[in-house]
Amino acid sequence: MSVGTDRAALLHDRVVAALAPAALELVDESHLHAGGKGKQSHFKLVVVAAAFEGRALLARHRLVHDAVGELLATKQLHALSIHAYTPAEWLARGEVMPQSPPCRGGSKTD
């Protein structure tokens, strides 16, 4: 897990408390985005949890948003890339973290 900031620790702790994940990877990708270097504003979150069993992708994302939505609503985070897997899906992937697409530009207010 790549956690080194207060925002990252808060994000991590909220997901753990809400979903009790079997695995969790949190990567600060702020440096990959225009205007994001040093801001701890862009994160990739890979969550593997039994709570996702039988749920569609949108429902899985809602569970994550329920846990961390306040951080997005209060603009403590600008972007959160969510990858939500059941334990079986994660094993079938070979436990390989998905790649992030390249940044296509920053906010018009940055």
- Our measurement of the distance from residue 34's CA atom to the centroid of its chain's CA atoms, rounded to an integer in Å, reads 19
**Tens of pLDDT along 5-54?**
588 899 999 999 999 999 999 998 887 766 555 567 788 999 999 999 99
**Closest Cα partner for 21 from 73, 69, 72, 64?**
64
Q: What is the pTM of this model?
A: 0.80
Task: Assign domain 1-26+53-94 to a CATH class.
Answer: alpha beta
User: Would you give the DSSP letter of residue 48?
Assistant: E
Coil, strand, or helix at residue 39? coil
Length of the chain equals 110
Give residue-wise pLDDT tens across range 45-82: 999 999 999 999 999 999 999 999 888 888 878 888 99
Handedness of CA 97, 103, 104, 109 (dihedral sign): positive
Domain boundary assignment for the chain = 1-26+53-94
How far apart CA 33 and CA 80 sit, in angstroms, is 12
Dmax over CA atoms of the chain, in Å, equals: 41
